[in-house]
Amino acid sequence: MSSLTPASEVILRHDEYFIGRRILIAGNLQDNISSEINAEILHILTNQYHYWLSFNKALGENAHYDLTLEKTVAAQCNILIYFWPKNKQEANFQLHNICSVLPIGSEIFIVGENRSGVNSVDKILKEIGCVRKIDAARRCSLYYCQLEKQPQFHLADWWNSYKVADITIKTLPGVFSQQALDAGSQLLLSTFQTPIKGKLLDMASGCGVLSTVIGKKNPNIKLTLCDTHAAAIRSSIETLKINGLTGHILPSDIYSTIEDSYDWIICNPPFHDGLKTDYTAAETIIKQAPNYLKPGGKFRMVANAFLPYPDWLDKAFGRHEILAQTGKFKIYQASKFR
């Protein structure tokens, strides 16, 4: 868990206001600000499994990893501190869900970096209450609103779907490739022209598009999909289901919940954490991949051509090959020989 972010430092400029209050912290929380707030009750809702692992150690059952907020938790709180994510649609989804179950009269504090789009919050919450900016520092803005009207929230209204050939992809806000198949994943899928078999692990599965396309072409393959993002987990579940496939889908902090060995590991790994460029997850996926492959198993990934993955692949596997490339992307493959 990182030191306090600029957004958290802005919140703590007002820490006296939160003393003895019943607080819910949600959104793109990336640090341990909860330990700095002297609340009567404090709950954290995160849709990122790797952050939940840290929160759970400190808060136990008051740390919640979920796509949506439970009414029983919302009823205990009268203040929301919301950390704005980089994805505006995800913020819209989360705020509407949370405000639909928070008690009327609850106070809402929304903070985020200015470059993240937080300054559009007044448009998102215009039907909920009057939003005003109350602070600005560290290139962040802090907004305040009192919940005057609970919005209607139905999960079914937030689904998007699109087609990849005859396959239907289901996605929720905040999930990578929400609107259409991205070019990197398309290039990776183009390298699976011949039948494959065995067990396949899809790391950072997102909406499940890679596993679904491969699974439809190879009906005997056994699929495991994992991601840290709760919306990605739900999207993968729905994508497999609507295409008549089955698989093991689970939240994981990279390989933290993976116990099996596989014939294939595939991934289109992230290299951002929020707004920051961060290669940590991709590096760990690569370096630990041999531990989760069977002898002869293959690791195949797509990456932007400028990223430093070839050196990591050579250190982990001894060597690698390039199966396909464009001006922007490369498909790397490495095999476990021992």
Span 290-313, pLDDT tens digits? 999 999 999 999 998 888 899 999
Question: ∠ CA(226), CA(87), CA(62), 5° rounding?
Answer: 60
| pLDDT value for 272 | 47
187 domain residue, yes or no: yes
Residues 206 and 92 in one domain: no
164 domain residue, yes or no: yes
Q: How confident is the model at residue 74 (pLDDT cuts 50, 70, 90)?
A: very high
Residues 302 and 171 in one domain: yes
Read off the CATH number of the domain in which 263 is found.
3.40.50.150
Residues 197 and 213 in one domain: yes
Residues 141 and 232 in one domain: no
| pLDDT value for 185 | 95
Interatomic CA distance for residues 80 and 242, integer angstroms? 35
Q: Which of 132, 155, 178 is the last residue of a domain?
A: 155
pLDDT 10s digits, 15-42: 999 999 999 999 999 999 999 999 999 9
Q: What six digits make up the tokens of 221?
A: 């393959």
288 domain residue, yes or no: yes
Q: Which of 113, 139, 155 is the last residue of a domain?
A: 155
Q: What is the β-pairing status of strands 262-267 and 293-304?
A: parallel
Mean pLDDT in the chain? 94
| pLDDT value for 270 | 77
First vs last Cα of the chain: how many Å apart? 35
Res 275 pLDDT > 60: no
Number of domains in the chain: 2
pTM, full prediction: 0.94
Report which residue type is found at 212.
T
pLDDT 10s digits, 209-247: 999 999 999 999 999 999 999 999 999 999 999 999 999
Q: Which of 133, 155, 177 is the last residue of a domain?
A: 155
- Element holding 43 (H helix, E strand): strand 41-46
Residue tagged 């699974």 (tokens): 215
Interatomic CA distance for residues 125 and 246, integer angstroms? 39
Q: How confident is the model at residue 279 (pLDDT cuts 50, 70, 90)?
A: confident
> Residues 309, 301: contact at Cβ < 8 Å?
yes
Q: What 3-state class would DSSP assign to 173? A: coil
Res 117 pLDDT > 70: yes
Residue 197 φ then ψ, to 5°:
-145, 175
